[in-house]
Structure 1
């Protein structure tokens, strides 16, 4: 029996990973945008991705912002999703939810003015970004 300790360890690690995955799905469902805001986030996703690339290339932003954005790029580049696409709604929306959560953190750290300066889309799209990040639209925006 003592020779099978590695099997117990493997089962414990696999169980821990399953629990972590389940917690991630719950966190995405709770923290992510819902209803019309989710549809708007999916609509402006191309602009959001261009914004992320531009922010990551800006050397004037704090290092923590660029690290967060680099981790976001790594997540988006993975060939598999956190939530498989066959799961209704969240399967296709997980990338938009993850982008929105990272952008909330980035916008709060970098500032809304820096984000506005790099925004590649329309004013309506920027309004969606502000709603996604939980920030009010700037007076001049």
Structure 2
């Protein structure tokens, strides 16, 4: 099984444990993206440094975030506080600061961040990509 397939299986299992049984997209099942090509669909937020996109369901959101080092370095992470998050690093290596503790998070690793826990991430490699699921849906 490919790494991507393994990661998606892990994420699906994790989400089945945290989502209410009523969680489904309005209008039924939707195809969101292909994990291997999703970075082509991201919106540039900070020129040349930060790219992201969100997809929303009724009870959950999924976001893809890509941080890239350019001549100015990396965009500094900002403190986030939202619902529970399951994140998969699909590229690169990050340093996460979560409630004053430092964690390192690399390609292929999955992390669960409890709800309303302040956190920030800094990319340690030339590029980092995260796929994150949020419940309840993330509206910020």
**TM, length-normalised to structure 1:** 0.28
Larger Rg: 1
Normalized per residue, which structure has more helix?
A: 1
Normalized per residue, which structure has more strand?
A: 2
**TM, length-normalised to structure 2:** 0.28
